[in-house]
């Protein structure tokens, strides 16, 4: 599964404004909602927050992947946001998250959800990708970086 096939310009925020992880999650979710990607925004938010309450989705090296299976979407969707100053995300390494991918998929599917999470993790393991994304100045820059480094 290629990340560039799932991530579109309409699903990227190059400068997230939220002041905490919950505001960041809602900001990315609202972007998807504004683009008609959600069948039920409130259900999607409820499922994301429940998943986040169970175990933080803050990983390492500035990466966070809030995700959930939900009846609030009809198909797998991904949004990405960049928070260059970082945001506390209860990450595994204790460092702030700067690269935030939000992943939602229908409750009754497993394969694509797991493949999307794996694809993001695999691509962002490369420090060159993380550094390039942090230097990105626009949505177009972000898309070009994702395509250039895609594993």
Percent of the chain at pLDDT exceeding 70: 99
Residue ranges per structural domain of the chain = 3-149
pLDDT in tens, 88-133: 999 999 999 999 999 999 998 878 899 999 999 999 999 999 999 9
Euclidean distance between CA atoms 115 and 46, whole angstroms:
23
* Residue 113 annotated in active site: no
Euclidean distance between CA atoms 120 and 17, whole angstroms:
22
Beta strands in 62-132 (DSSP E): 63-64, 67-70, 77-87, 97-106
CB 134 within 8 A of CB 112: no
pTM of the model: 0.95
User: Which DSSP symbol is given to 104?
Assistant: E
11, 33, 67, 113: the catalytic one is 67
Interhelix angle for 21-34 vs 41-54, to 10°?
Answer: 150
Q: For the domain bounded by 3-149, which CATH number is listed?
A: 3.40.930.10
């Amino acid at each position: 599964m290629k990340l560039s096939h799932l991530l579109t310009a309409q699903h990227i925020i190059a400068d997230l404004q939220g002041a905490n992880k919950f505001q960041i999650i809602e900001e990315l979710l609202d972007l998807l909602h504004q683009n008609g990607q959600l069948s039920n925004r409130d259900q999607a938010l409820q499922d994301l927050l429940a998943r986040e309450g169970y175990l933080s989705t803050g990983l390492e090296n500035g990466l966070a992947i809030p995700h959930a299976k939900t009846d609030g979407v009809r198909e797998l969707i991904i949004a990405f946001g960049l928070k260059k100053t970082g945001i506390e995300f209860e990450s595994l390494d204790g460092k702030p998250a700067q690269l935030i991918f939000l992943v939602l998929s229908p409750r009754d599917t497993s394969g694509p959800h797991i493949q999307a999470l794996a694809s993001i993790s695999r691509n962002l393991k490369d420090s060159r990708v993380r550094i390039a994304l942090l230097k990105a100045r626009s949505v177009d820059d972000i898309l070009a970086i994702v395509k250039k480094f895609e594993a």
